[in-house]
Amino acid sequence: MTINAGPFAGTTRLTSRRRELELDALAAAPAVDLLVIGGGVTGAGVALDAAARGLRVVLVEARDLAFGTSRWSSKLVHGGLRYLASGRIGVARESAVERGVLMTRTAPHLVRPLPQLVPLLPGLLRPGQASLVRAGFLAGDALRLSAGTPGAVLPRMRRVDATRARQLVPGVRAVGLAGALVAHDGQLVDDARLVVALARTAAQYGATVLTRVRAEQVTGTSARLVDGLTGQSLDVTAGAVVNATGVWAGEVDPSIRLRPSRGTHLLVDAAALGHPVAALTVPVPGSTSRFVFALPQQLGRVAIGLTDEDAPGPIPDEPQPTDAELDFLLDTVNAALTTALTRADVRGAYAGLRPLIDTGGGSTADLSRQHAVLESPSGVITVVGGKLTTYRRMAEDAVDTAVRLRELPARACWTARLPLVGAPGHRDSRPAPEGAVPASLLARHGGTAREVLAAGGAEPIAEGIDVTRAEIAYAVTHEGALDASDVLDRRTRIGLVAPDAARARAAVEEIVGECLAR
């Protein structure tokens, strides 16, 4: 089923050489079962699903894996609590089921349980709101149990006293603190890392994964593929074409109507909140269902998010946060902190656009997060909406639709049992003995940590940045990075803080250059 990965056949390695070989092979035999457009979490998930069913699959991504919305998320693998609050039980249950699949089978190495703490502070919660939050957390527990996720993976909700609350989030306001309600959800070490793991696993099952390749003139059975590196183009035909381009879906298929909504996060040093080990959850004044979260992140930072703003007009490559959004986030979180954060504490900020389906009026916060699989008059199958947590289910629905409409020769979906590269149970995973690899590298690479370390040294790429030189090399030799920006902005997240990127750039460019020249 593989197009022709030559020496790379059956491996998870994505390299510039593999890209060249596979582009040549595709030019020689430009007919495939499934063309997937878009290399975010949805497209990578579709490519894996289809390749694992035995279809001949090509995925094209105009820029880089996880270039779009998939790298700007809150990195939560969530059980859909907020959907319960609005009575959307089906969406909530789907989230809870997929969270369990990720945390127990497909990617437990990338998702950890994250305690989320709602502090019981005077003035923070409206009268009766603590009871509502507690009821919501209890319902979340019931959902977790019904999804079959054990308490050993995600502990049940509990109330903690003020001392314990301040151990979990030392920066939380002490005066008047009567304890906190704590519930658990899943947290990805990084969202872009999930996308790369999906694309690599898809490649192992025979999918051709081509970055810097844009699909143009797309129909239900064909597209022109333009190589962004050479300018050359190639016409391919396909049994089915799946449009998984997120907020760009309407550019590929004009029958699709989206209403993008911008979500912004800012980054502060973890030290500014006393190095929290739990997420701090602060209600947005005047709303019963909206919260601002301060989420501990890798690389010693806390991300504070998030907003939900209508974002009409042309889709930018990299959406930008507004000053008003940053002020809103700081003002909201400061209500729960001992020492207020100011603009001087902000190390970086980022924004992403949610690909929400336009259902008419109302605010974007009220639009459904449910996904849809739509066949347009031109025959293009678009999968859009949804969320990172439910990518696997979205992919299954999209491939089921393609198989049914176009009678493709595919087996049944089995991705719920398919470990991604780095997960326990994946063919290439090897346990790393305690202390054999840096803990941060292990958290990012799981069962491939020792293979990563073998690609280079364990020294940090720059002082104070816990990304090793080995990870930079591995990004090029195994993860499909084609230049320093792919490494700084997506294979690692050093680029989220501009001064960090500036300090690391020269060393990253040197390693990338060496690896590409080999």
Ligand X SMILES: Cc1cc2nc3c(=O)[nH]c(=O)nc-3n(C[C@H](O)[C@H](O)[C@H](O)COP(=O)(O)OP(=O)(O)OC[C@H]3O[C@@H](n4cnc5c(N)ncnc54)[C@H](O)[C@@H]3O)c2cc1C
Q: What DSSP letter does each residue of 134-156 carry, written as one string?
A: HHHHHHHHHHHHHTT--TTTSPP
Burial tier of 365 (Cβ tally within 10 Å: 0-12, 13-18, 19+): middle
Between residues 166 and 200, which has the closer beta carbon with respect to ligand X? Answer: 200
Its sign, for the CA torsion 254, 255, 257, 260, is negative
- At residue 492, φ and ψ (nearest 5 deg) are -120, 170
In the complex, least distance from residue 436 CB atom to ligand X, rounded to whole angstroms = 31
* Binding residues for ligand X, total number by CB under 6 A: 39
- Which of 14, 62, 96, 160 is the binder for ligand X (CB under 6 A)? 62
Between residues 380 and 452, which has the closer beta carbon with respect to ligand X? Answer: 380
| Residue 244 near ligand X by CB under 6 A | yes
CB 341 within 8 Å of CB 180: no
Instruction: Provide the CB-side half-sphere exposure for 74 (13 A, CA).
Output: 23
Which region, judged by CB under 6 A, interacts with ligand X, from 109-117, 240-248, 268-276, 328-336? 240-248
CB 190 within 8 Å of CB 41: no
| Residue 349 near ligand X by CB under 6 A | no
In the complex, least distance from residue 134 CB atom to ligand X, rounded to whole angstroms = 23
**Per-residue contact flags (x/-) with ligand X for residues 130 to 169, judged by CB under 6 A:** ----------------------------------------
Which region, judged by CB under 6 A, interacts with ligand X, from 70-78, 230-238, 401-409, 484-492? 70-78
Its sign, for the CA torsion 99, 100, 101, 106, is positive
Between residues 426 and 490, which has the closer beta carbon with respect to ligand X? Answer: 490
Give the three-state DSSP class for 366: helix
CB 50 within 8 Å of CB 57: yes
Between residues 386 and 447, which has the closer beta carbon with respect to ligand X? Answer: 386
- Which of 140, 206, 239, 246 is the binder for ligand X (CB under 6 A)? 246
**Per-residue contact flags (x/-) with ligand X for residues 83 to 112, judged by CB under 6 A:** ------------------------------
| Residue 263 near ligand X by CB under 6 A | yes
Quote the strand ranges of 433-490, DSSP E.
460-462, 465-468
Q: What DSSP letter does each residue of 393-444 carry, written as one string?
A: HHHHHHHHHHHHHHT-------GGG-PPTTSTTSTT--PPPTTSS-HHHHHH
| Residue 252 near ligand X by CB under 6 A | yes
- Which of 111, 154, 388, 462 is the binder for ligand X (CB under 6 A)? 388
| Residue 296 near ligand X by CB under 6 A | no
Region of 80 on the Ramachandran plot (φ > 0 left; ψ -120 to 50 alpha; else beta): left
Residues 6+ apart with CB under 8 A from 279: 114, 115, 116, 117, 187, 293, 294, 295, 296
Which region, judged by CB under 6 A, interacts with ligand X, from 242-250, 275-283, 440-448, 487-495? 242-250
Between residues 222 and 338, which has the closer beta carbon with respect to ligand X? Answer: 222
Burial tier of 63 (Cβ tally within 10 Å: 0-12, 13-18, 19+): middle
**Which amino acid is located at 301 in the chain?**
R
| Residue 184 near ligand X by CB under 6 A | no
In the complex, least distance from residue 60 CB atom to ligand X, rounded to whole angstroms = 5
Which region, judged by CB under 6 A, interacts with ligand X, from 138-146, 347-355, 409-417, 429-437? 347-355
36 beta partners: 59, 242
In the complex, least distance from residue 217 CB atom to ligand X, rounded to whole angstroms = 10
| Residue 67 near ligand X by CB under 6 A | yes
Q: Which residues bind ligand X (CB under 6 A)?
A: 37-43, 60-63, 67-70, 72-76, 78, 214-215, 244-248, 252, 263, 306, 352-355, 386-389
